[in-house]
Structure 1
């Protein structure tokens, strides 16, 4: 592993991990837009739906933790999804103070359309699935390191 001091200009834009991550994030999310628009979803709403398709019902607290979003950021997303008829917010049966997010029939049905999204993204990226899996593992380690959790190399 090379030392940061070995980099000719450590402040050069092209040497910045944050720059590469920001551009990659915007670029990849941009590929999702035309796939999600017919479904009536934005990318953040799609992430909420992915979590709910996998784990529903979820408390707002658990959904916030799972998506690593502040409840104040998550709340407007949930309101729009509820207005669209995809989710409902209900008082949790085991804790009246907690809101549970549940999928409606329409929200559950949307999953079938969403199942086409990952394949389309892989095709649009034109990258091998093994390369994308390696990238996902590396990004997961970056997220852990940035959050103070040092994961063993996988």
Structure 2
């Protein structure tokens, strides 16, 4: 899915790549199968990696979303994310997205997998996402957990 020819075709109107990168494709399929209407929605992708962020942004554009990519150099990311109907978080920053970043009813796909210290665990750490699940689930319309969300699905 990451061959330059495939990514090039993904970015071109009227062309489909031979293979789609699995995690971004899984995110879009999950949104659609969950009943999230994508056409005309404001989508924010948090993270601009070649593996998830950029392909996810391109796939959402092909679904007629208005897409904004937020990254480490974005000024006032909270304001931008707060306007989103759809959020795909793939920044690699534990609990970066807080409740006050999320518009009520937004659909959130958390792709982040971060290890955070946890002395109560045998390993000494636990996995968590880029989204503060406990807080954001109070305002989100739909949200995926970490672990147990996108990882097993893709």
Q: Normalising TM by the smaller chain, what interval?
A: under 0.3
Higher helix share: 1
- Which of the two has higher C-alpha Rg? 1
Higher strand share: 2
Q: TM-score, normalised by structure 2?
A: 0.26
Q: TM-score, normalised by structure 1?
A: 0.26
